[in-house]
Structure 1
Amino acid sequence: MAFETNKLVGKAGRVAVPAGAAAALVLAAGMFVHHNGVHAAMIASPIASPAPMDDNSVSSLVALDNAVEAVAARVTPAVVNVAVTSRGSSESEHETGGDQEDGPQQGQSLPPGLQQFFGQLPPGMMQQRPQQPQLEHGIGSGIIISPDGYIVTNNHVVDGAVEMRVTLHDRRVLKAKLVGRDPLTDIAVIKVDAHDLPSIAWGDSTKLKPGQTVLAFGSPFGYFQFSVTRGIVSAVDRQNPYRDDARKPGGYIQTDAAINPGNSGGPLVNARGELVGINTFIISNGGSFAGAGFAIPSQMVRATAEQLIKTGAVHHGYLGISMNDVTPENASFFNLKEATGAIVTQVTPDSPAAQAGLKNGDVIDELNGQKVINGGALQVAVSEDTPGTQIALGIIRNGSSQTVNVKVGEYHKDAEVASNGESAGPQKGKLGLAVAELTPDVRQQLHIPSQVQGVAIQSVRPGSPADDASLAPGDVILEVDRHPVTSAEQFVNAAHANAAGKDLLLLVWSQGGASYRVVHPDAGNQSGM
């Protein structure tokens, strides 16, 4: 489960021994119980302490400690704590069921101090007070990127803020104003009225490699300001885990440097003390750090922050395609020698990609002459392009390489696609699914757009090859082995014609987007679907 790290999901456990208790423990150490009572212990002669380890034995560790201390001392003065007051929606309406026809409930329109003196009030006796939005308080982190007070943090830290206060490393507390925010990348820029502030240098996140040392800074749990943790880069180019909008760019840096609630918006730095990421969320079952923290790469942060400072808004480039990554499993279906690149699974009508002639099944392996590793890397790069920019995409179409020139368009949320993404009885066939014609009634029931052509999945047998490929009732199969299907009979014939034990490549429309799925048929069931 992904958690945004400005949410304080629990109280930090703090254990402290009062000074008096500590003294009592010291005195008790000098006593022992005898069968005749309590006696003072004999004070033994001092035991010789072991000699300290020589410098040569620990020189590497000492050098590492010195290096980490130097980086922390350089970065920490530029780290800030961000306290936000936001106006949230009232929860009481949800708790009482919202609109009720039975009149006010007990104490509903009375001041809290008077509620105990009144029982249930007759309906209509007192007029219900209008629900007032509640003020919510959140804590996050940030990093100063310029001496004149510009600070980068997460969008979800400042979303809905009516007041922001920034605590600097020198303990000054300053009011901050919002410069701009970008929900798509979860980046925001705020500013304080100050000068000659310590700031951080930008690093190049594209040069990060798994295993490199990184440090994470912030205010975990809101209590522990200006904390630093050390870890490594666990992985790069991690895909977007959110499901609210698949068009959000991926490319996240994964790290095992501890990131906890309150760390949102804090910096992730490399061994040179340069900003390579902004800490944003963790994957955890309990809401606290479990070894998998994620940061937005500085490549994206810098481009977004500079646009926000310059114009107050961000104009994201887009192509109008959905993509799958090339994998060893699906590469053979596209006559590819390497399992790298991005497969086009859907092209939005009248989009820049459609106008340039991109088609389903094209494999994008280059962008402006640079190798494309996967769909996430392509999406991040394109989203940073200014709308109107001309780019050259190297594609492989039916085994042949060619170049397609595309004029980048502008992303508009909820309008364009640009993502990295009769009841039948139990089925006994080799796929484990049943399909139905895509009739007008089925389209209406499943909310399938008119331009989507194929066959609807009616049911999926649990544990079947179709289930293993994440197919589900309501999905629409558009292609089988890169050939369009327009009827249930055509799909059944194509599936039956597939050689025993041979994988099937299906292009599937699901939840507004299309993606390729490789299905491993059950060789033991050659009859039915």
Structure 2
Amino acid sequence: MKLRTLRSASLTLLASVALLAAAPFALRAQEKAKSKTPERPPLVLKSDAKAVNREAADRVSYSAVVKKTAPSVVNVFSSKKVRAQREMSPFFNDPQFRRYFGVPEQDDRGGRGPTQEGQGSGVIISTDGYILTNNHVVEDADEVEVAFGEPRREFKATIVGRDPKADIAVIKIDATGLTAATLGDSDQLEVGDVVLAIGNPFGVGQSVSSGIVSALSRGAMRLTTYEDFIQTDAAINPGNSGGALLDSDGRLIGINTAILSRSGGFNGVGFAIPINQARAIAEQLVKTGRVDRAYLGVQTQPLDAELSKMFDVTQGALVVEVQADTPAEKAGLKNGDIITKIDGTAIRDQRHLQLMVTRLTPGVEAAVEYLREGKPKTVKVKLASLPGQGGAVAGVGGNDIGVLNGVGVADIDASTRSELNLPRRIEGAIITAVEPDSASARAGLREGDIILELDRKAVRNSDEAVKLSEEIKGPKVLVRLWRAGVIRFLVVDETK
């Protein structure tokens, strides 16, 4: 029997789910708070955290709820130019191989191809035009448009920021006085709660479906890095990606994201990102254009039946290692501790601990409750910034300056050194993303390369790489890099 495949609920991603790729549009440090995007005023959101009335009689109709909430759900259209090129061996991505065998440069092997178009949905979350959607709806887009209302209104949209690791994006249109969704509290959801899904399935126009919450905190779907999905049997189809999942009172409690399907059509298993997770990301994207996740510094494992019996607990995350020079070590956490709560929220398991910590902002003090030898303890921990972050990408429409436009970089952390078998003597900035149609990609730069020098000036970290890339006038830059144990030079010409 053929295994079921996860397929994203977006028209452009039905053939294969690819929700993790990032495509920055200018060289930027993705771990440090180094962004060309000026800090914006915070989002002004409407929220209502009351739990639904689960004792109320079943409703005959949800028309009043739909009329109130439907104006905040929009259609999102994206387009990108696709580079057309002949299929060749990956070896010919290296300019030295191309020159040795007399193969023309990539520009000569193909030019701009046809326009690839996609569509999905989005939710207006502020009256001044901020819209929440999925990253995969707008990823790599050259242009984004939004349409909604009767009579139909159409707007050009800009991408404020994207977070591929959670499949969330924020876009903005130039409009005021819009109907914004009221945000609920997804932490209060229970299995069996009635939900409504609103979006633009198959591009037929705004549609509503209903169902219940089938399960909570679904993970291990390998769709995103940070998974805490709401599972629902409300019909979610291609084009619903980025649309609203509402509770029975019409409050936004999730962003519809994916379906489990053999055919690409709906089979009763859909997934939505909880609004509490999406909201935390959206607020950071609007403020700074990126997401900076918090870090505790422990390695944990799940509690199986034997461990639960041994430690006399039913849930939590068992600490197996406290990493050196981390917030956890400084706060006094030890191997064998069982973390049970973060800021008053009960920790179910290992994955839930990661989700709760990364939802917080670096620099905040979190109350960590834990058990040590059966005795409950509490400690305040000042959280740090998660090392090696490279997932959040500022939006389309910024002014690319300097050289290496289309390249994303991050600092080199211990895990990166181990994974790449990187010698201690090598210092620089690791390339985390290369925009496929950029001059850097055509010159042969790749993800995983370590930038050592730019125009013979040493690069020791991502900040220095960004700074030098902005200072070098170009259009050509000499790049010295480390790749798979070999150091080499490449020339990137921004005019090509």
Distance 1:302 1:365, change over 3 A: same
Q: Is residue 65 from structure 1 mapped to residue 42 from structure 2 by the alignment?
A: no
The amino acid of 1:93's aligned partner reads R
Q: Do 2:12 and 2:117's aligned partners in 1 also have CA atoms closer than 8 Å?
A: no
Percent identity over paired residues: 41
2:206 maps to 226
Residue pairs, 1:79-478, within 5 angstroms: 79-88=73-82, 90=84, 92-94=85-87, 96-97=88-89, 129-134=108-113, 135-170=115-150, 171-221=152-202, 223-242=203-222, 248-333=225-310, 335-336=311-312, 338-413=313-388
1:42 maps to none
RCO (CA 8 Å, sep 6+): is it higher in 1 or 2? 2
Q: Displacement, 1:233?
A: 0.5
Question: Which residue of 7, 10, 28 corresponds with 1:3?
Answer: 7
The amino acid of 1:182's aligned partner reads D
Counterpart CA distance in 2 for 1:340 and 1:229 is 35
Q: Displacement, 1:299?
A: 0.8
Q: Is residue 77 from structure 1 mapped to residue 52 from structure 2 by the alignment?
A: no
Counterpart CA distance in 1 for 2:103 and 2:193 is 68
Distance 1:278 1:377, change over 3 A: same
Q: Displacement, 1:78?
A: 1.2
Distance 1:8 1:79, change over 3 A: same
Q: Do 1:93 and 1:99's aligned partners in 2 also have CA atoms closer than 8 Å?
A: no
Structure 1 SS opposite 2:60: helix
Counterpart CA distance in 1 for 2:422 and 2:173 is 48
Q: Do 1:9 and 1:287's aligned partners in 2 also have CA atoms closer than 8 Å?
A: no
Counterpart CA distance in 2 for 1:9 and 1:152 is 19
Task: Return 353-362 or 278-287, whichever deviates more.
Answer: 353-362
- Residues 66-123 of structure 1, C-alpha deviation per residue, up to 9 Å, x if partnerless? 2x11122222111111111124554x433x546779xxxxxxxxxxxxxxxxxxxxx9
Counterpart CA distance in 2 for 1:163 and 1:278 is 22
1:419 maps to none
Q: Displacement, 1:398?
A: 3.6
Distance 1:256 1:329, change over 3 A: farther
Quick check: which has more Rg, 1 or 2? 1
Structure 2 SS opposite 1:387: coil
Counterpart CA distance in 2 for 1:141 and 1:272 is 21
Q: Displacement, 1:364?
A: 0.5
Q: Displacement, 1:163?
A: 0.1
TM (normalized to structure 2)?
0.62
Counterpart CA distance in 2 for 1:191 and 1:136 is 22
Structure 1 SS opposite 2:314: coil
Structure 1 SS opposite 2:59: helix
1:464 maps to none
2:451 maps to none
Counterpart CA distance in 2 for 1:140 and 1:296 is 15
Counterpart CA distance in 1 for 2:219 and 2:212 is 19
Q: Which structure 2 residue ranges, 5 or more long, are not aligned? A: 16-56, 94-101, 392-416, 424-496
Q: Do 1:79 and 1:169's aligned partners in 2 also have CA atoms closer than 8 Å?
A: no
Counterpart CA distance in 1 for 2:107 and 2:229 is 48
Distance 1:329 1:289, change over 3 A: farther
Q: Do 1:231 and 1:256's aligned partners in 2 also have CA atoms closer than 8 Å?
A: yes
Q: Which structure 1 residue ranges, 5 or more long, are not aligned? A: 12-61, 102-122, 417-443, 451-529
